[in-house]
Every structure is written in C-alpha cells, then in structure tokens.
Amino acid sequence: MKGNEFHNMTDAELTQKLQDLKSELFNLRFRHASGQLENPVSIRTCKRDIARVNTELRARQAK
C-alpha cells in the first residue's frame, strides 16, 4: 500500500491493519525459514507497510 492510502483510514482501522501486517510478517518469516517462500521481497514490503502504519499513527499522536 502507498502511504497516502493510510491517511484516509481511521485509528481503529490502522491498528487493525497493523495487527494484520504483523501476523502476515510472522507467517512470511515462518515460510521463509521452512523454504516455502517463493517471493522473499514480500517480507521487505510487509516490513515497509508496518513502518508506514506506525508512522501514520505516530503523526496522529503528535497532533
């Protein structure tokens, strides 16, 4: 997802998205460790999405 897509989400939606992304990252890491992950770039994109959500939540707290 792009960063501007997170601007339109509510705080509850962002926290839910963060939980979903963290569980997805766990699953991706598990599949990578077992050798079943076909696209290792998906780990990087998931991490970046988590960072984008955290940045948006932090920016809202700062206001």
Q: Which domains does the chain have, with CATH numbers?
A: 3-62 (1.10.287.310)
pLDDT above 80 (res 2): no
Q: Does this model's pTM top 0.75?
A: yes
> Cα 22 to the chain's mean position, in Å?
6
Amino acid found at 23: S
Q: 37, 31 in Cβ contact below 8 A? A: yes
Q: Average pLDDT of 37-62?
A: 95
- Reply yes or no on whether the pLDDT at 40 is more than 80: yes
